[in-house]
């Protein structure tokens, strides 16, 4: 895998005051300033450390997904009206532990309220703007989701190796102890989405079978 050092952005989100644990609250403010978030954990039990780190990982991923909603543009036709909500779907088991639901309660995308949809399987899917495909989703269902939605204006976000190479839009991956993401630029074009430069500058762009970190 060819890599280029990731540049840090000098932008930040407006301050917010949330009744949540420190990392989750600060992540929303600093995620674009840092480009990625380290996840320090210091606990007596290795299992306790692993559990808390996993929880923190998904809290940070939830913040990223919210931020994608702010910095990606969808065709106007995907919304039934100017008052239609912004819908974020989760396929299969929800790994976020309520983090996405907390964002939906407290934040908006533009003037649109956020609705979190849970789809036990792809057959339960109905239109949304973002679909998160957890790594617990069976590989055949992940591929079916890509095949079904890879040309639709739905931001497909995964977390399995090669998700973007297989046609997904965005894929989370761990770089040492930091969360980063790759983008498949060809899928973005096919889906008629427009991604802000702030996101592109942070991303590792998928090029064929290679992931190039900027």
Residue 14 domain flag: no
Residue 3 domain flag: no
* Count of the separate structural domains present in the chain: 1
pLDDT at 16 over 70: no
| The model's pTM | 0.77
- Per-residue confidence at 18, pLDDT binned at 50, 70, 90? very low
- Per-residue confidence at 24, pLDDT binned at 50, 70, 90? very low
Its domain, for residue 153, covers 22-213
Residue 10 domain flag: no
Residue 196 domain flag: yes
23, 41 contact by CB (below 8 A): no
127, 87 contact by CB (below 8 A): yes
Residue 55 domain flag: yes
What pLDDT shows up at residue 205?
Answer: 55
Packed helices 46-71 and 99-106: angle between N→C axes, nearest 10 degrees: 40
Residue 9 domain flag: no
Each residue's pLDDT tens digit, 93-121: 999 999 999 999 999 999 999 999 999 99
CA distances from 35 to 12, 30, 51, 139, 152 (A): 10, 8, 24, 29, 28
Residue 13 domain flag: no
What pLDDT shows up at residue 201?
Answer: 84
Residue 17 domain flag: no
């Amino acid at each position: 895998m060819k890599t280029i050092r990731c540049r840090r952005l000098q932008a930040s989100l407006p301050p917010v005051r949330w009744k949540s644990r420190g990392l989750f609250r600060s992540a929303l403010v600093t995620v674009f300033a840092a480009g990625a978030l380290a996840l320090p954990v210091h606990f007596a039990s290795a299992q306790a450390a692993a559990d808390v780190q996993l929880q923190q990982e998904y809290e940070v991923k939830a913040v990223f997904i919210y931020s994608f909603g702010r910095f990606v543009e969808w065709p106007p036709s995907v919304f039934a009206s100017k008052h239609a909500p912004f819908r974020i779907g989760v396929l299969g088991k929800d790994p976020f532990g309520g983090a996405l639901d907390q964002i939906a309660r407290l934040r908006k995308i533009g003037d649109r309220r956020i609705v979190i949809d849970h789809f036990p399987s792809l057959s339960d899917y109905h239109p949304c703007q973002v679909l998160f495909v957890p790594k617990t989703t069976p590989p055949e269902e992940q591929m079916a989701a890509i095949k079904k939605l890879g040309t639709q204006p739905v931001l497909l976000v995964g977390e399995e190796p090669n998700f973007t190479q297989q046609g997904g839009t965005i894929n989370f991956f761990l770089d040492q102890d930091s969360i980063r993401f790759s983008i498949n630029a060809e899928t973005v074009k096919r889906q008629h989405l427009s991604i802000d430069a702030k996101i592109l500058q942070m991303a590792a762009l998928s090029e064929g079978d290679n992931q190039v970190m900027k």
